[in-house]
């Protein structure tokens, strides 16, 4: 798995954010500085509209992302009021709804493997809150969760033998008292140490590319023996300057994530093919992008190179390939036999 190109989305659950979405305020998830800065100048209604444009990183619901080839999902979970939601500065969709979409997809597509990375959990400050989160995961994905006795180095075929579909990457931070939830967490949650996902934190395309170049060079040195997943975050992160530019002059500067990520998404295919040329297709693992839609080249590229990356030994063991090899062997023996007969006839 960690030598396959796996298409992913960044902040996968933000598709439901809009101008009316509420702020997901949490002491352990402070709002970006730029929100505070523009809030001191602009009216709240305008601030909320601006924040929505920069917080919504995906246009597709989870079902549509999966149906279009995404196999890695990045969830930012927040306990909001009385329930778990997906968030990114603003509240998006209920976690239960997103999990139901995953459950329905793998039920309809039992051979597919999904990586669910719950790497940010906010406002879950006591055992009861964490129990609610674990219960949701157990109820929606318990029958589909791949046990953590498997590994990132396992093949798709090995994982399929488990008869389960979803790798859940999540750490727990509160004591678990319920025996059933204890068992679920102990057997089905993969520790965050299983994945390496460095955040570039760059505001422009050139700096982002340079950072990804360094990350890929470092990963290439260890990927053959690495035991974990690796995420290449092909995303820019806006700062105050980028936000203000988009507010004052939206005709010249991006005013939302959708427009901000256009140059990155347009360049991504070239970047990845360059890395493949330099390091080989097995050196790229999970790749995430903002504003994934059906114009993205990420999924076709993954399909192309993951197919090519299958080893010769695997190909030989396939029945159809074996039949072709047998036919080739018979064809060659026949030609040699005919040529030998001609040579023998000519010698008399």
Burial 144-170 (b: 16+ CB within 10 A, else e): bbbebebebebeeeebbeeebbbbbbb
Q: How confident is the model at residue 313 (pLDDT cuts 50, 70, 90)?
A: very low
Q: How confident is the model at residue 327 (pLDDT cuts 50, 70, 90)?
A: low
Q: Is the CB of residue 28 less than 8 Å from the CB of residue 71?
A: no
What digits encode the pLDDT tens for the residues 222-245? 999 999 999 999 999 999 999 999
> What whole-number percentage of the chain has pLDDT above 90?
84
Q: What average pLDDT score do residues 285-301 get?
A: 97
Q: Is the CB of residue 149 less than 8 Å from the CB of residue 105?
A: no
Q: What is the bridge-based pairing of β-strands 90-94 and 83-88?
A: antiparallel
What digits encode the pLDDT tens for the residues 254-277? 999 999 999 999 999 999 999 999
For residue 291, pLDDT over 90 is answered with: yes
- How many angstroms separate the CA atoms of 102 and 171, rounded? 20
What digits encode the pLDDT tens for the residues 57-112? 999 999 999 999 999 999 999 999 999 999 999 999 999 999 999 999 999 999 99
- How many angstroms separate the CA atoms of 328 and 323, rounded? 9
Q: How confident is the model at residue 336 (pLDDT cuts 50, 70, 90)?
A: low
């Amino acid at each position: 798995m960690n030598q396959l190109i796996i298409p992913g989305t960044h902040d996968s659950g933000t598709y439901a954010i809009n101008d009316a979405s509420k702020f997901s305020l949490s002491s352990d998830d402070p709002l970006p500085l730029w929100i505070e800065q523009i809030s001191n100048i602009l009216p709240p209604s305008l601030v909320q509209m601006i924040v929505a444009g920069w917080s919504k990183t995906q246009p597709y619901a989870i079902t549509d992302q999966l149906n279009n080839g995404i196999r890695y999902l990045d969830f930012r979970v927040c306990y909001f009021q009385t329930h778990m939601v997906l968030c990114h500065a603003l509240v998006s969709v209920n976690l239960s709804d997103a999990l139901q979409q995953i459950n329905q997809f793998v039920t309809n597509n039992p051979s597919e493997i999904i990586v669910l990375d719950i790497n940010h959990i906010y406002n879950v400050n006591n055992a009861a809150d964490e129990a609610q989160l674990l219960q949701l995961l157990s109820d929606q994905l318990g029958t589909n969760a791949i046990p953590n006795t498997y590994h990132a180095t396992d093949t798709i075929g090995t994982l399929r033998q488990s008869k389960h579909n979803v790798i859940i990457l999540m750490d727990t931070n509160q004591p678990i008292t319920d025996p059933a939830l204890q068992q679920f967490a102990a057997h089905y949650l993969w520790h965050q140490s299983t994945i390496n996902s460095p955040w570039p934190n760059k505001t422009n395309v050139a700096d982002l590319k340079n950072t990804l170049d360094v990350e890929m060079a470092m990963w290439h040195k260890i990927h053959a023996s690495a035991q974990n997943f690796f995420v290449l975050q092909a995303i820019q992160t806006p700062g105050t300057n980028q936000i203000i530019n988009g507010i004052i002059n939206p005709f010249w500067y991006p005013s939302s994530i959708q427009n901000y990520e256009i140059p990155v998404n347009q360049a991504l295919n070239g970047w990845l093919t360059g890395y493949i040329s330099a390091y080989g297709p097995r050196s790229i693992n999970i790749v995430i992008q903002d504003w994934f839609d059906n114009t993205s080249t990420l999924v076709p590229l993954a399909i192309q190179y993951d197919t090519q990356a299958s080893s010769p030994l695997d190909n030989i063991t396939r029945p159809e390939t074996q039949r072709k090899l047998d036919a080739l062997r018979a064809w060659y023996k026949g030609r040699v036999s005919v040529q030998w007969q001609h040579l023998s006839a000519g010698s008399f």
